[in-house]
Structures are given as structure tokens and as C-alpha cells.
Amino acid sequence: MAVQSTQIKSALSLRYKEGIDARGKDIIKTKKFSNIKLIADNQGLYDVAAALTPLMKYPIVEVLRSNDNKLVNA
């Protein structure tokens, strides 16, 4: 049997460096934008992240896209 996958949700996460802790390790925080349109392409999302960078208080260190898929046995 073949399994079919249907994308049901997508989100954009921006990870940024908020500072350094007492042990000298980076403090990384995440800002998540949910309900991204499923048809949004990766380049478009990256361009949005780049446009948001100057508006952020801290530097962005990573841009992530997460997709949730529904799997059904077909």
C-alpha cells in the first residue's frame, strides 16, 4: 500500500541571538510565524526573513520553515 502525504500547515521561525549567558554560551530565542500559506516558496520566505532582519532587536542566526503533513494509507 502507498502512503499519501498532504501538507496541512506551514510556519516560519526566526532564531536570533539574544546575548551570552554566564557560562559564555549564546542565548538563542525563536520567533515563530504560524499559518504561512502552503504555496509560499522557500525563496519568498527567506526574503521575508531578510526584510525583517533590520526590524529585529537582535541578529538573526537561522531561518527555519516547518511543515506539518497528514499521512494517509491509500
- DSSP for the chain reads --EEEEEEEEEEEEEEEEEE-TTS-EEEEEEEE----TT--HHHHHHHHHHHGGGSSS-EEEEEEEEEEEEEE-
Q: How much is the pLDDT for 1? A: 74
Q: Where are the domains of the chain?
A: 3-73
Q: What's the pLDDT score for residue 74? A: 83
* Each residue's pLDDT tens digit, 3-61: 999 999 999 999 999 999 999 999 999 999 999 999 999 999 999 999 999 999 999 99
